[in-house]
Amino acid sequence: MDFSWMAWTPPTAFFFVGILVLLLAMGAWEYASPGGHPRVGILRFETTRGDRLFLSLLGSAFIHLAWLGLVGPDLWWALAASVVYAIGVFKLV
């Protein structure tokens, strides 16, 4: 198979492997502790661990897109901001 049209660079591969690792870790966590104890956070609606992971991934995508548009292609600070954002989502939402 020729995947050259997809621009498979090492950062692209790390990105998709990272998401796969997150999904596998969340699956293992759900298997070990089913249900995840839904809770109501600052958004005032009930969320589970999966909901918070989705919000973290979605917000991180927007952080990276905004960083690319406003700052440029050096994404290390965007990654740091995304990690801080994800921690905040899991703690507060």
pLDDT tens string 2-31: 767 777 777 777 888 989 999 999 999 989
User: Distance between alpha carbon 79 and the CA centroid of its chain, in Å?
Assistant: 10
pLDDT classification of 1: cutoffs 50, 70, 90: low
Tokens representing residue 61 in the block: 């995508």
Domain count, the chain: 1
Measured distance CA(89)–CA(41) in Å, rounded:
9
Which residue range is the domain that position 82 belongs to?
Answer: 7-32+46-92
Q: With respect to residue 39, please indicate whether it lies within any of the assigned structural domains.
A: no
Pick the residue with more confidence: 66 or 33?
Answer: 66
Q: For residues 19 and 57, is the Cβ–Cβ distance under 8 A?
A: yes
CA atoms within 13 A on the CB side of 17: 7
Q: What percent of the chain has pLDDT over 90?
A: 59
pTM of the model: 0.80
Q: With respect to residue 58, please indicate whether it lies within any of the assigned structural domains.
A: yes
